[in-house]
Structure formats: C-alpha cells, structure tokens
Structure 1
Amino acid sequence: MNDNWRIFVALGLTMLVLVGWNLLFPPQQIQEQSRNQTQSSPQQAEQKADSRSPTPEKPQPEADGALSSDAQAVFSAGGSKTLQVDTPLYTAVFSSQGGILKHFYLKNYKETIEPDSPPIDLVSKKTLAKAPMGLLWNRSPVWQNAEWSVQGQDVQLSGGESAQLVFRGEIHNGLEIVRTFTFQADSYAVDEDLKVRNAGDSYVSGVLSLTMASSGLVANESRYNTTSIAHYANQHLNKEDDKDDLGLGIASDNPVNWAGVDSNYFLLSVVPTSQDMFFKGKLEDSVYRVALEQNTGIEPGQSEQIAASYYLGPKEQKHLAQVGNNLIGALHYGWLNIIARPLVQVLKFFYTYVGNYGVAIILLTFVIKLIFWPLSHKSYKSMEKMKKIQPMMKELKEKYKDDRQKMNQELMQLYKTYKVNPAGGCLPMLLQIPVFIGLYEALLGAVELRHASFISHFPFTDIVWLADLSSKDPFYITPVVMGLSMFLQQKLSPTAGDPTQAKIMMIMPIFLTFIFLNFPAGLVVYFLTNNLLSIFQQWRLMRKA
C-alpha cells in the first residue's frame, strides 16, 4: 500500500471517529424481547377476553406481549368532568373517568423559543386516545368498564405543599378499585396508591396493568434526538427507537424497575414500587405505549395494593433522583456516559456563575484544553521533529525504493538517531478522543441546553441568531467559521513531505464543515473554541521554535 492510500485510509478513520462512532456503538438496545412468543392479534385478545370465566384459576405467567386493541384503548370523555392540578412545575388535567391524564403542561419548557410560545403539553389529543395513566384489568380498560366517582377538587400547590385526589371505580365482576394520586409541589412525579378489592364471594384473578402513552416527545426528529421506548432492568438501560420493531411490539422476560417513553430531554415513565412487574411496549397509530403488568389473585373480601409513581418531565438529575427505583438511570448520555455525566455537571457549575450556557461551554472547553495542554504540546513537538527529518526520509525512500526491508531498517535508524517517535504525534491525540466523544454526547443530551441562548440576536439588530444551543445555527455562520479555523490549523501544522498527501489532508475541513452544518449550535461552539485554542498553542510553539 503506497503512502497516498495510507492517507486516504487515515482520513476515513478520522471521519469515522469524529462523526460515525455512534453508528458503530449505538445506545444499548432492548435485550429482553420475545416478539414472536409475546405477540397476539386483536382478534386473539378478544377471544381471550370472551373466554374468561367469572371464577378463573389462579393466574400463570402469560406470554402475551401485545397492548390492548384500539377499540379497548380509546378513551371517551363523554359524561366525565375534569380536575386540574397546578404546581410551580406543571399543570395537569385529569378525567374523573378513571383518573385518565388529559393534559400535562410543563411550565418551565416552551414549545419554541418565541416569547409567546405556549408550554409543552406532554399529552396530545392523539395521545389521549390511548389513555395515559390508565389501568387495564385482564387487558380490558377499567376507565370504560367501571362506574367511577372522584373525591377531591381542583388543586393549587406551592412551596412544599402536597395534595391528593381519589378515584373510585366498581367493575361488574365485583372488583372495587381505589386510585389515590398524591402530588408534590416540587416534583414532576405523581404517586399512586392503588387498591383493588374483591367485594364478591368468589376468587378473582387477572392481569393488572399500569400504562403510559405519548405521541412523541420530539417535534422534529433527527438522528441526534428521537423518541424511543425505554425500560430499566438488571442495572441496565434498554432503549428501542426502531419504528418497525416497535410496531411489532417489545416485551421483557424479567421484572423491570421502570418503563416509559423517552427522548434526549423528556421522559414519561411508570415506576412501580414492587419488583415483580413485567414490561411491554408498542408503537400503535403513531402513539408510543408502555404497560407494566402484574398477575393478581384476590380472595373474597380481600384486597391487593400496589404503589407506583408516574414521572412526566425533563431528564434533570435532581428530579429523577427524587423518584427512586433507579429512575436516575434514564439520564444516560450514550457510549461514554461515564465521562459525559461529570462534564455536564461541570457545565452546570459554570452556568451558575456566568448565566449563559454558551459562555459555560467555552469555559469548559478551556478547562479541557488546559488539562490536555501537555499532551497536545508533546504531539506538536513530535510533529515538528518529523517535519525536520522529512527530507532525509524522502532520500531514504528514494534510495531503497526497491528494497522495502532495507528502507524500513534505515528509517528506524533515522528515528533512533534523531530521537523521533513516528507515533508521538498521534498517541497524545488519541488519548483525548474519549473526552471529545463524551462531551459530544453530553451536549447532545443535556436538557439544560434546550432553548438555551448564547447570542440571541446579531449585535445591534433584532435578527435571531444563536438563541437555541440545541438547534443548528440558522445562518450556518459558526460551522463555516469552524471550517475556516480547521483550515488555518492545517496550515500551521507540520505537513507531510508528499505534496499530494498534504492536499488530501486539506480536504478534511471541507468534509467536516459540511457535516457540522446541521449540528446543534452548542457542539459547534465547542469545536470552534477548541480549534482556536489549538491554533494558539501551535502558534506559540512555532514562535518559540
């Protein structure tokens, strides 16, 4: 393989590391699926429902992983009233018909960056058709098949206050259901104490399911931010965003800590207290749906109690940690999460002092550059040494072009004589790659950057510019400047002895500029700042030399 082909390969590998690594190392996918064994058609589900006797035997674990059919899931608001819960964090609207969630507005998160933009509603009209926070008994919707009453009224909370709403329902087979919702002023979680009582004179068994639904948590999905169905089990976060797989339905073989609908920034989840609930999920009619199930058997006059929480809000560490049961595991930044999470904490630390996440990103870049300054300096010095012996290397290659073994021996002797390590310029850079990738993931997944402004308008104008660090630069100014900085950095760097190789390396800034055009602005600000600092370091080294 000649030297030009080596440069082509090196360029391809560099692009792979900078841009395509997440394609090779995707987030951990669903590990506990049993699609073929767990699916059943709506007709099969109806046949099972029709064949149930009033006094079935105690339940055995079921393999049915499909959620309820459309006819069962559609929620009718007719004849019901609504109750509103207002806290400093959200406004929730419930239906008296089974405690179904009709709206959930996040007060601190707007749909767009416009000043008059309404708050995000996590429950759309399409979502309501699948009854978020609804209960299923033997995969039949109890919000439709029961007579409901409600105890309580509209709630207004502030400070450290809490309040409750109680929903009572009676099913025709003698089951009495009591759902007690508890709301905290400082939490996005809605806690439920569920009691199912057998008021009849016969043993009753069935499958009890707690559900959640969302029509999507991302307005404009991209490869950087998608809606997925996630669950946490065995100390691992499992996510699935492939719509074809979700359309078939997914399920767990083991009990889970929690399950929900997930994106980079928001999470809707069911978090049970018990450790024996199984997960299932499905994408149906463009609505992501999850259910946590438990086989239940109740003797006459006895009752079954289940405690759970429903979390609907941003993926912020302090709020996720309040819920427990490893819900904090939802805050996962990808392959190098172990590096990304502390970087986010440092970013938030800087923000508390400067009040601007764009400035915080620049300060974080300075810190990272300072830490790796000695390694970068060593790399640049090694490249300078290689540049100085390039003429001698060229002579040896020409002299021994027909004897590769001899040429390699002479080159190694040359390196030894001038104390040059050919890999000295690359190894220090390779050590920095995990940190760069970790920061890349951190900036992509940090909800703090959503709608966070850096330079909201062009100076002395009313033209909106970098008003949202989670979105691309609308005028592509920062990625173009970043490309120019890479070009200057290439000019300052020691070039290869072969002019053809040098020209090939100059193509890289063009490739990366094109790729960075649609990157979130926060990422471009980081890379631009890093390039400028690298240019400064190279300039100092050249001046000193």
Structure 2
Amino acid sequence: METKRIILALVLSFAVFFGWQLLFPQPTPQPAPQAIEQGAPQAGQQAGNAATPAPSLASAKDVAPIEATQGRLVTVQTPLYTAEFDTQGGLLESLTLNKYFQTVPIKGQPQPDKINMISGGASLGLLVNGQRTWENAQWDTEVQDLTLTEGSNTLIFHGRVEGYDIERILTFEADNYLIKEEVRVVSTSAADSDLKITRQAATDALTAMSSNYNQANISWMVNNGLDKESDQKDLRNDGLPPVTAPAWGAIDDNYFVLAMQPAEQTVLEGGMTGDTFFINLSASLGSIRPGESKSVRTSYFIGPKERDLLAAASPELAKTVDFGWFDVIAKPLLIFLVWLHQYVNNWGVAVIILTVIIKLIFWPLSQRSYKSMEQMKKIQPMAAKLREKYKDDKQRLNQETMQLYKTYKVNPAGGCLPMVVQIPVFFGLYKALLGAIELRHAGFIDTLPFTNMVWLADLSAKDPFYITPLIMGATMFLQQLMTPTAGDPTQKKLMYIMPVVFTFLFLNFPAGLVVYWLCNNVLSIAQQWWIAHGSKRKKAAA
C-alpha cells in the first residue's frame, strides 16, 4: 500500500504541476483594434520625412487615433542594441537586440530576425498634466544620431507644451541595457499650477505568445514583494488596479523585460489595448510657480533578463529573475550549468554532466534502495503464498505482508525513493530551462544526424520530433520491468502505467528536461543491473 501511495503522489504531483498548462492554455490574444485609418503609415514607419506616433495608451479604454505629426527618427547604436527615437516627443519606436533572435540561428541557414523589444504603443511616452507631449507639444528636431562603443552618452529632447517647457535627458550605456532619464519641466504659465508627470512604457508581447509556458505579463515590486498579472482579459477590460509606491513596474515574460524604475514615489497603472501591454508611472509634484523648474528621474531596462546586467543596473531590478517556489534550487543549478558550459561549449553535454553529478550525489541512497529491491525479489514466492492464503481477507493480508517486510528488512517503497528525491531537482531544472535567458536557444544537436532537419537546437523548447520523450518512456518502462513489486496485480499495472503517463507529460516539455530525465533513467538502469549482477556473482560464489 505504501508503494501505491508514493506512485500516486508522484503521478499527481506531475499532473497538477503541468496538467493545468496543457489542458487550459492562455487564450490567444484578439487582434488589436484599428486605431489608425486603413492605408495610413503605422507607428515607427516613415512617410517622407514624417513619422506617425503610435496610438496613445494613457488608459486601458482610451485608444483614440493620434494625428500624424512632423518628426524624424534618430538612431542610438551600442554594442548591445540599436534603438530608434522619434524627435516628436522622444518616443522609442524600436529597440533591436544585437545578440538575440526570434528563432534559433542554424549554421548554413538564413539568419532569423533579431528580437525587437518595442512593437506597438507609445513607449517612453511623456504626459504632463494629462497632455500627450508626443501629440500636443512642439519639439526641437535638431537631435543627432548617437553611436556608443564604450562609456555613456546622452540625447536631449527639447519641447514646449501649453504652460510648460520640457527637457528630456536620456543617458545610454555601452555595456548595459539601462537607459536613465531626467525630465525637467519649467512653468511658463502666469499663475501657480499643480504638476503631474506620467511616464509610459508599451509594447506588444516580447516574444511569441503561442507557448503556454511563456506568457507575457505585467509585474511589479512593492516592499520587496513581487506580484504580476497575466490574465489578458482582465488587463483589457479592467486594467491593472493602481499600485502605490512600486520599486519598479515591468512588462515581461520568461526571458525579456521592459522595466521602469522611478526615483520618486509614484503610482503604477497598466493594462492592454488589443495586443499591446502598457504601464504608466505617475508622480504628483505638487504646486509649481511661474518660472519654477521641477524634475523626475526614471531608469528603464529594456532587454534580456541577464542577471549580471540587471544587478548592475539595480539590486531591485535583479529580482525580475524569479523562479518562484523553486528559486533556491533553480538558481544554483543554473549557475552550475553556466559554469560547465564554459568548458564543454555545449548545453546538452552540460546537462548530461549535471545529471551524472546529481546521480553521484544521490548514489548512496539509490544503492540502499536498489539493494532493498533485490531483497524483495527473494521474498516474492513468500508474498505470493500470502496473497493466495489470505485472498479473501485483505486486512489480514496487509498485516502479514508488512510483517514479512519487517522480518526481512525490506522497504516496499524502495523503488520509488530514487525518483522522489529527484523531484525537487526536476522542478528546479524545469524552472531554469523556461526562465533563464542563458538557456534560451541553448543548443545540443542542431540537426538530425545525416539530415538538415532542425532537432535539438533549442533545449528550452520541445523536441519537434518527440524522439527523446519516446526513448525516455521506453527507458522508464525497462526500469519498471527491473523493479520487483510484492504487491497485488493492480499495483503492478499501476507501475506499468507510469511510463505511459510520464511519456505523455514529457511530449511538450523542454528538450533539456527530457534529456536530463532520460540520462537519469539510463544511469539508474545501469546501477540496478550492476547491483543485480553483483548479487548473482555472490550467489554463485556461495
């Protein structure tokens, strides 16, 4: 009975953890409403020397069209990315990452498109007392392109909106995705007025939203506590409830983040319009007198969740990389995998070496477990006689069977213990593979041998041909055949159903996780064979 409970617990653990994502995927986003007339230039495109700003996202329900305004695009190039800003308001029209691609680059095949962090929405938009400065203000268009190879440098946008002069000072770094901004506002009004400055970030989903394991969401941190909202229906209909004094707010997914970190107390709001996520940080600066100047500062991190660069930008921003309950296991595994990769230069080989090391760590426990299983083989005839003798008295059968185990010092759950201790490691590696930018597009065997068909070129994605999960299921079935049970026929059937259930669950798992479990099974089979072979040698010698 104890073995049956453990088996059921294992199956239920996997089913609960992964079944929900398989059976109830996030709804596919609906097409965005047309906010610009058919045939008009879209946001970021140039018509002659004019750029059409993106639709405003000042609130979840405010998607009114924005009239075209004269402006031009200026380019910021760094070793890490290429960004384009519209001189009309300083809107960020695009930010293309130099090192990250939409799909896996395969040697000998055309290079895929690079990741563009900004698509749709008025990103880095500035509102002064609710006025959309990219729409209503007049801006200086004399800003020049900027190229950074080292150090840092700035772009300055000058504008004037009714009652205020505006200066946006953006500072870029050559070795980080961090952009720092200071907004200075000078009152040109004849009377005192209240001043409220809102900064806005917006983009469509950062990567493909077809995956159930990588959903875009809005996240934030308050008082060192992380929270997020990924329900797109709620974000479209109701928006994000106001969050007071956030350390940062972000649009992110497993691998990429568009984060805003204010230097002063703000209120975070956000939501979705169509496919576009947006967040606003609003700061009320109180009364401003004629001729008086006030300013706010914001840090933007727009790029991959590289832990070192996030930590260099801000200790708070480093917490955007979070693996949930398994953080304490996932991060050490990730650090060790990255360290191994430096030497073997292949992520699949690094996963295999990790599997061997974990197996060695748990070797003593597995050794005792498999020896207990060998003992169980010896008492099988006695267990069969008990089942025949007490076939009509289940309670007595259980009592006598447990006494038999006790007499011969056999643990009926011994065959499951090696799997039980692997579960936390399994979940930790699962979270690392799906949430670590280092393992995105982590390669192993790019193409099937003797073909040009892409195979295990990305260990963070599923095996496209399901070869590894099927082999994993076969090794698991072989392992069950080698595992004796002293239970009833129902228990044996349950043991043989497990490989089928696990194979089904593993079909859409990251290939790296399947490789780990497959290698673990092979090592376990070898260990069981070694112990059984040694037992036969001792018996023959005796």
**TM category, shorter:** 0.7 to 0.9
- d(CA) in 1 for partners of 2:176 and 2:310? 9
Corresponding residue number in structure 2 for 1:473: 463
The answer to whether 1:529 aligns with 2:519 is yes
Question: What's the secondary structure of 1:187's corresponding residue?
Answer: coil
Q: Deviations over 1:426-464 (max 9, x none)?
A: 455433321221111111212222222211123343332
Aligned 8 A contact 1:270 1:311 in 2: yes
Question: What's the secondary structure of 1:260's corresponding residue?
Answer: strand
Question: What's the secondary structure of 1:311's corresponding residue?
Answer: strand
Aligned 8 A contact 1:123 1:214 in 2: yes
Aligned 8 A contact 1:469 1:522 in 2: yes
Aligned 8 A contact 2:18 2:505 in 1: no
Q: Deviations over 1:182-212 (max 9, x none)?
A: 0111111111011122232322214322111
TM-score with structure 2 setting the length: 0.85
Corresponding residue number in structure 1 for 2:46: none
**Residue 104 of structure 1, aligned match among 95, 111, 114:** 95
Identity of aligned residues (%): 47
Of the structure 1 ranges 448-457 and 460-469, higher mean CA displacement relative to structure 2 is found in 460-469
Aligned 8 A contact 1:378 1:425 in 2: no
The answer to whether 1:166 aligns with 2:145 is no
**1:252 CA drift (Å):** 4.1
Q: Deviations over 1:215-246 (max 9, x none)?
A: 10221422211111111112122122111221
Corresponding residue number in structure 2 for 1:222: 211
- d(CA) in 2 for partners of 1:404 and 1:484? 34
**Residue 444 of structure 2, aligned match among 454, 457, 465:** 454
Aligned 8 A contact 2:3 2:416 in 1: no
Aligned 8 A contact 1:138 1:206 in 2: yes
* Structure 1 residues 406 and 495: CA distance shift in structure 2, 3 A: closer
Question: What's the secondary structure of 2:200's corresponding residue?
Answer: strand
**1:153 CA drift (Å):** 0.9
- d(CA) in 2 for partners of 1:466 and 1:490? 27
The answer to whether 1:20 aligns with 2:16 is yes
Tell me the amino acid that sits aligned with residue 164 of structure 2: L
- For this pair of structures, how many residues does the alignment match? 494
Q: Deviations over 1:75-101 (max 9, x none)?
A: 555310111000110000000011100
Aligned 8 A contact 1:67 1:139 in 2: no
RMSD of aligned residue pairs (Cα, Å): 2.5
Tell me the amino acid that sits aligned with residue 16 of structure 1: L
Tell me the amino acid that sits aligned with residue 213 of structure 2: Y
- d(CA) in 1 for partners of 2:67 and 2:8? 56
The answer to whether 1:198 aligns with 2:187 is yes
Question: What's the secondary structure of 1:493's corresponding residue?
Answer: coil
The answer to whether 1:89 aligns with 2:80 is yes
Corresponding residue number in structure 2 for 1:123: 118
* Structure 1 residues 79 and 326: CA distance shift in structure 2, 3 A: same
Question: What's the secondary structure of 1:462's corresponding residue?
Answer: coil
Of the structure 1 ranges 351-360 and 431-440, higher mean CA displacement relative to structure 2 is found in 431-440
Unaligned runs of 5+ in 1: 26-64
- d(CA) in 2 for partners of 1:428 and 1:480? 21
**Residue 504 of structure 1, aligned match among 485, 488, 494:** 494
Question: What's the secondary structure of 2:422's corresponding residue?
Answer: helix
Tell me the amino acid that sits aligned with residue 17 of structure 2: W
* Structure 1 residues 75 and 489: CA distance shift in structure 2, 3 A: farther
Corresponding residue number in structure 2 for 1:516: 506
Aligned 8 A contact 1:162 1:182 in 2: yes
Corresponding residue number in structure 1 for 2:176: 187
TM-score with structure 1 setting the length: 0.84
Question: What's the secondary structure of 2:324's corresponding residue?
Answer: coil
**1:402 CA drift (Å):** 5.7
Please show how residues 292-303 of structure 1 align to structure 2 within 5 Å.
292-300=281-289, 301-303=291-293
Tell me the amino acid that sits aligned with residue 285 of structure 1: G
**1:408 CA drift (Å):** 4.7
* Structure 1 residues 308 and 22: CA distance shift in structure 2, 3 A: farther
Please show how residues 119-518 of structure 1 align to structure 2 within 5 Å.
119-124=114-119, 127=120, 130-150=121-141, 152-158=143-149, 160-172=150-162, 174-247=163-236, 248-274=238-264, 276-300=265-289, 301-400=291-390, 406-427=396-417, 429-518=419-508
- d(CA) in 1 for partners of 2:20 and 2:61? 36
- d(CA) in 2 for partners of 1:76 and 1:449? 43
Aligned 8 A contact 2:76 2:147 in 1: yes
**1:503 CA drift (Å):** 3.0
